[in-house]
Structure 1
Amino acid sequence: MDADVEADNVEVDTVEVEAPAAAEDAQPTQPSKKSLKKAAKRERFQAQKLERRAREKVAKKEKQRIRAEKRAAGELDEEDLPKKKKPRVGPPFGGRVVVDLGFDEKMTEKEVHSLCSQLAYTYSANRNAGHQFSLLFTGLDGKTLARMDSMSDAGYKRWANSEFWTEGYERLWSEDPTVKPTIVYLTADSDEELTELKPEETYIIGGICDHNRLKRRPTVSALPVLPIGTYLSDLKTRKVLTVNQTFEILVHWVDTRDWESAFHTVIPKRKFEENSKEKAAVPEGTAVVSVEEVEEQTEA
């Protein structure tokens, strides 16, 4: 039988599917004016939110850029310091820390700018300390005074628990003739180490930024050095610290009574990295002398 004949004999059942009848009364609902206003308001808010975040991001980056430039130039003001959550402040330690600013004529303008930034950091560290010192800045004059007056509209005059003298620290002995103060002038060049801080004593920090060019202030009565050599015997790099670093170490010692912890908390990590590099770079048996020793040998 032909295939065409078979195809003719095949019965195909078909099913007709009727389309659903459209609802006679169904009509598209129109949104109310109130809902349209709410939707438009949401869209505007989202658009403004994105724009606001974009502006904030740009402003934050610009602020960071300016702060980085000021930090590189040593021109950070108190207002430029990062805002930290103020910790709970306990009773004052009782001791006094004096920053001797009597080196003004020996510093360049750039060094004075760096020093003034260090003073701002010092005040900030004292303000946030668990047990605050009484701060006294002596010998404020010349370029340093002009720079401090130009920073934040002479904001240093509003520093709490701080005092400024144009006279030198020698005035300490004439404050009260009936009382003989115990004054300790800290230095980076001494064999005597400071072992503890006492609330009845006054500690003087040399306020100078000279990148190790100059000799420190001569002996007052005793010139102990912070005990870095005892607690960080492996740290062979230059141990001359900035004003604020020295002060922060004192603050941490008062809070913890632990010199080693204070040093590790304050001294920059790069100091330890530099020390490791120096050890690797210097061949065994090579004599290593400091800049101070070279200067002394040259003068001799």
Structure 2
Amino acid sequence: MDSEPPVVPSETSRPSLLSPNGDECKNGDSPSTANSHTDVDSAKTENDSLGDGCKGPGVMSKRQMKKLIKQKQWEDQRELRKQKRKEKRQKRKLVRQAQVTQNQEDHLNKRTRREIRPSNMRLVIDCSFDDLMALRDVKKLNKQIRRCYAENRRAIHPVQLYLTSHGGQLKSNMEEYDKGWINWKDIHIKSEHYKDIMKHEDLVYLTSDSPEVLHELDEAKAYIIGGLVDHNHHKGITYKQALELGIAHAQLPLGSFVKMNTRKVLAVNHA
């Protein structure tokens, strides 16, 4: 007798496994496993629904965190901003003071220029001793000439300043280290000797070896000083030149105003 085929339960006849919250368990899952899946999915869904704007109580969003950081930085830099404002005020104050000072100096310079009255008196620096000086002494002479020029430019009653016999080492040194001399104003730079460009009777050589003492200056005269830095190696050379040329000579009255225990020889810019 044939046996009956086994009865396969239908989908509807299968027992369903329900999780504790009433959800149907997936195939192969026990009620406890199904419950775990459900909790994870529920938490994920909740977090997704909150987004960046709301993450529950006590949780700060990225936007809020950035805002808080900026606010803290602003507070931390309060003293720095205060110091910078103070420095700016001080800088503006200094600029205003500098402008006031500059305006005062400009006004003074304009007034001084109006008061300048050039003298007709000529002062000649005789540069004919170039071959008697070492290069280091020529450089010193160049510096002394620059000082003479600068002082005369600032003077209220500037003299007519001359450089004569300009050439040789002195000219080369000026061209190499002081190229601006070519643009000097209110100075007459001549390659000729002073005796060839001025009247004989106008010339007065200022030399400490002269027995004559100069008590008064004559604006009609041309006073000559020797452009020589020799450390007393060539004593009396300027006096000798004056005698040879037959021109007037004199010494400045230094003994009446200055006590000097040495020879009364001055640097070019002191004469």
TM range (shorter): 0.5 to 0.7
Q: Kindly provide the amino acid, as one letter, of the partner of residue 212 in structure 2.
A: E
Match of 2:263 among 235, 238, 262: 238
SS in 1 for 2:249: coil
Distance of aligned partners of 1:46 and 1:142 in 2 relative to their CA distance in 1, 3 Å threshold: farther
1: CA distance, partners of 2:118 / 2:72: 67
- Do the aligned residues in 1 keep the contact of 2:126 with 2:224 (CA within 8 Å)? yes
Question: Residue in 1 aligned with 2:101?
Answer: none
Contact 1:181 1:202 in 2 (8 A): no
Instruction: Give the whole-Å Cα distance in 2 for the aligned partners of 1:46 and 1:142.
Output: 59
Taking structure 1 as reference, are residues 171 and 42 closer, same or farther at Cα in structure 2, changes over 3 Å only? farther
Residues 38-68 of structure 1, C-alpha deviation per residue, up to 9 Å, x if partnerless?
A: 7545557899xxxxxxxxxxxxxxxxxxxxx
Distance 1:140 1:35, change over 3 A: farther
1:94 aligns with 2:114: no
Counting only pairs closer than 5 Å after superposition, residues 124-203 of structure 1 correspond to structure 2 as 124-152=150-178, 154-173=179-198, 181-203=201-223
What SS does the aligned partner of 1:163 have? strand
Structure 1 residue 229 displacement after superposition:
2.1
2:120 alignment partner, SS class: coil
Identity percentage over the alignment?
A: 31
Equivalent in the alignment of 1:206: 226
Q: Secondary structure at the match of 2:248?
A: coil
Change in 2 beyond 3 A, CA 1:239/1:42: farther
Return the TM-score normalized by structure 1: 0.52
Query: Aligned equivalents of 1:32 and 1:229: distance in 2?
Result: 80
The answer to whether the 8 A contact 2:119-2:158 is kept is: yes
Secondary structure of the residue that 1:137 maps to in structure 2? strand
Question: What residue is the counterpart of 2:135 in the other structure?
Answer: 109
CA distance in 1, matches of 2:195, 2:85: 64
Matched AA of 1:93:
S
State the alpha-carbon separation in 2 of the partners of residues 116 and 45 from structure 1. 50
Residue identity in the other structure for 2:176? S
Which of 219, 227, 239 is matched with 2:253 structurally?
Answer: 227
Q: Which residue in the other structure is 1:14 paired with?
A: none
Provide the rounded CA distance (Å) in 2 between the counterparts of 1:157 and 1:38.
58
Q: Which runs of 5+ in 1 are unaligned?
A: 1-29, 48-84, 174-178, 247-300
Change beyond 3 A, Cα 1:210–1:229: same
Q: Which amino acid aligns with 1:97?
A: L
Superposed displacement of residue 205, structure 1: 0.8
| Letter aligned with residue 156 of structure 2 | G
Counterpart CA distance in 1 for 2:268 and 2:217 is 17
Residues 100-155 of structure 1 show CA distances to partners (whole Å, capped at 9, x for unaligned) of 00000000011001100000010011011120001110111111001111223x11
SS of 1:184's equivalent in the other structure is strand
Mapped contact 2:208–2:263 kept (Cα < 8 A): no
Query: What SS class does the counterpart of residue 223 from structure 1 fall into?
Result: strand
* Cα distance in 1 between the residues matched to 2:174 and 2:82: 50
Equivalents in 2 of 1:32, 1:95: separation in Å?
77
Structure 1 CA distance, aligned partners of 2:128 and 2:162? 13
Higher-Rg member (1/2): 2
Cα distance, 1:244 vs. partner?
0.2
Write the distance in 1 (CA, Å) between the matches of 2:131 and 2:138: 10
Cα distance, 1:141–1:180 mapped onto 2, change above 3 Å:
closer
Query: Deviation digits for residues 65-115 of structure 1, max 9, x if unmatched?
Result: xxxxxxxxxxxxxxxxxxxx9693520121111100000000001100110
Equivalences for residues 37-52 of structure 1 within 5 A = 39-41=79-81
Could you say what secondary structure the match of 1:156 adopts? helix
1:152-179 Cα shifts (integer Å, max 9, x gaps): 3x11122210011111112224xxxxx7
Runs of 4+ residues deviating >4 angstroms: 30-47
Amino acid at match of 1:199: E
